[in-house]
Amino acid sequence: MKKYILLLLFSAVIQAGFSQFNCDPPTNLNANVNIEDVTLTWSAPSISQFLVLSEVARNIDDPLLDASPRYKEILNLNPSRDYMDVQFVFPCSDDGGQAGVESDGYYIYSAIWNDCYFVRYEFDGTFVDTFSIAGVTKVRDMAFCEVDGYMYGANSTKIYKMDFNTLTLIDVLYIPDQVRALAYDPDLDVFYCNNWSSDVMVIDRVTGNILDTIPLIGTYGVYYGFAYDNWSTGGPFIWGFSHDGLGVELVQLNLPDFSETGFVMDLSSLSTTGGGYAGGLFTQPGIVEGTVTLGGLIQNDVIFGLELADISPPPPVFELAGYNVYRDGSLLNTGLVIDTTFVDLNLSHGTYQYHVTAVYEDTLGAFVCESDSAGPASAIIEELLLLGGNVFAGTYKLDEGKTYSYISDGDSITLQHTVEIDEYGYFFFYPCESGDYYLISKPSINSSYYEDYIPTYYGDVYHWEDSPTIFLQNNMYNEDINLIQITPSNIGSGYINGYIYFEDKDVNYTPASDIQFLLLNNSDECILIDYSDDLGYFCFDQLENGTYKLLCEIIGKKMAPQLFIIDNNNPSIDGLCFVIKDNEIEIGIDDDFPENIRFISNVFPNPANINANIEIAVMEEEIVKVALYSITGKTIDSYIQKLGIGLNRISISTNKFSKGIYFINIELENSFKITKKFVIIK
């Protein structure tokens, strides 16, 4: 069957959400800056949405209304645009049960759902007559078939095939399920029918066999009437007349899956009472010259017609062709932008303002209109600068390595660039924004200086808090870095080891790998460097007796070097624990120590077999009371121990105790107490 172009470009209304008569603008214009480029993004006109509030029972006392037993209350968040003109509205001849409606191209007919007769009207609404057909009763929705010229009517589990010219019943199609809404598809020669919100049945017109069933899964349902529409652009569609919402909701549905297109019209304004209940639907060309009518009936109230399509020679239709992008009032694009993204490249430093408009054309490509603009969106391009310098290892240039630049805004430090040292021992960063920068250079593992020099910050320091920042506001070429050489030390039998963890917001701890540790001597010279492994473990061994400082180095994380003493009484420092927090690195986990206490370890090993140990680092000599308790609170052992300056170990022999859970309580002279739990195994 021939399809005609819909004047109002219906598919564009549904899919893109813009009106044919309004040159709608884009929305939500945003500008994002990346060095010297600006990326613009925006939104096309929005699509209407539905919100189902609830499904409720309907109480109807009027026996002449064929109303659904349940319906959905629906809030339309963005009502569909009212694009279809009303062609006619005329009253039903009586209120005795008129519900179904159809046209054969000569008359409009209504069916009486609770009786056995039909009503015939002229196209202008003039009442012609009533008639009945022997063997036909209680017809709801109807559908006219142009193929055979017969009218079909739905009743319970039957579809009547009727000749309205001779007023005879031609045949009956028996259907296994209830039928109320009915539409005929001349393209496939099938009927679509259902009962309120039941699955839609696809029925062969000749045999009455069910070819398919389609569930209704959209917002709307509870249909009384269906009408087939192969006139609208983007179709074919099915129109459903629903009892949901306000009870007279016209809903457009896709074929073949009966999904909702998003277009809905409330037709309660056509009712004489401002409400009513949906009846049947039909489509018919020629009722109004040059148009296709989408007609329907509000039960016992009115019969109406809406202009669905223009079948006169079609004028050009309008559509969204693309977008224009303006920077500071000047058009940027040479052709229309089809996507909702545009990148403005290679800008000089300065401040820019952007606007975006939508452009509409007809189907012949002729300009129709340009919308108001979305925007403005502002973008600031900073002046791009160069920052560079030499990296020295003693009197020579660094042969292999990398230099990193970090920009600081006072609250956070962010990595900006990573570059390789070139063959001349030089680095440079470009492009750079103006601001405060930290720089650090690191020899690579293949460098001949890797074993002898440590990563060094600008200012020739190993800790970022001691590094001066470079305020970059002009090109800078000679910000040199002199790598710090490792100071040799004597070999001994001592060692310092431990673990480092990340702390998350839920106070969980995960091992931190590849974290740099520096071991310093008493003169603050670096003597060793190590990096944590996948378990967060680090170790410095073969240490002679002496005073050491341990520094965990992560830019942006504050930390003071930790003091430790290795001597004959304390030949090793085992099981240190470092925690990486948001802005600092702490030693120990969640312990609020007095000023004299620098560190208190957890019990190790835990579980314990022979000994249970705790290490405490103090700034001044301290007398502590050590007590061991069982899980029931019984004191098992207690004694007094003197702590010297530096790291001390409290060790409890556990081989004389039975296995189980125990607590070590340590009390300082200022009454500060700390308790650690551990397990003894045998």
380-421 pLDDT, tens digit each: 888 789 999 999 999 999 999 999 999 998 889 999 999 999
The answer on 336 and 245 residing in a single domain is no
The span from the CA of 231 to the CA of 145, in Å, is: 16
With CA atoms as reference, report the closest residue to 522 among 544, 491, 542, 500.
544
At which of 325, 349, 381 does a domain end? 381
pLDDT for res 602: 77
Q: Is residue 269 part of a domain?
A: yes
- Spatial neighbors of 654 by CB under 8 A, at least 6 apart, are 608, 609, 610, 611, 612, 680
Domain carrying residue 539: 488-590
At which of 303, 334, 369 does a domain end? 303
Mean per-residue pLDDT, 276-286: 95
Residue found by looking up tokens 């007398």 in the block: 623
Check residues 588 and 674 and name the one with the higher pLDDT: 674
The answer on 376 and 282 residing in a single domain is no
pLDDT for res 634: 85
pLDDT for res 74: 62
pLDDT for res 504: 74
Q: Total domain count for the chain?
A: 5
Mean per-residue pLDDT, 239-267: 95
- Using the predicted structure, report yes or no on whether residue 36 has a pLDDT greater than 90: no
Number of helices and strands in the chain (H, E): 1, 57
At which of 381, 406, 421 does a domain end? 381
The answer on 250 and 184 residing in a single domain is yes
pLDDT tens, 81-130?
345 889 999 999 988 899 999 999 999 999 999 999 999 999 999 999 99
The answer on 168 and 298 residing in a single domain is yes
Side-chain-side CA neighbours of 160 within 13 Å: the count stands at 25
The answer on 163 and 55 residing in a single domain is yes
The answer on 112 and 21 residing in a single domain is no
The answer on 622 and 492 residing in a single domain is no
Q: Is residue 311 part of a domain?
A: no
The span from the CA of 494 to the CA of 466, in Å, is: 29
The answer on 424 and 501 residing in a single domain is no
- The CATH number of whichever domain residue 154 belongs to comes to 2.40.128.630
- The CATH number of whichever domain residue 377 belongs to comes to 2.60.40.10
The answer on 156 and 112 residing in a single domain is yes
- Type and span of the H or E element at 30: strand 27-34
Mean per-residue pLDDT, 548-552: 94
The span from the CA of 230 to the CA of 4, in Å, is: 8
The span from the CA of 88 to the CA of 80, in Å, is: 21
The span from the CA of 627 to the CA of 268, in Å, is: 85
With CA atoms as reference, report the closest residue to 73 among 92, 88, 58.
58
Q: What is the mean pLDDT of the chain?
A: 87
The span from the CA of 566 to the CA of 549, in Å, is: 11
Among 108-112, 289-293, 494-498, 608-612, the minimum mean pLDDT is found in: 608-612
pLDDT for res 605: 80
Q: Is residue 85 part of a domain?
A: yes
pLDDT tens, 308-365?
998 876 555 678 899 999 999 999 999 999 999 999 999 988 899 999 999 988 877 8
Mean per-residue pLDDT, 527-548: 93
The answer on 354 and 215 residing in a single domain is no
Among 54-68, 368-382, 435-449, the minimum mean pLDDT is found in: 54-68
Q: Is residue 99 part of a domain?
A: yes
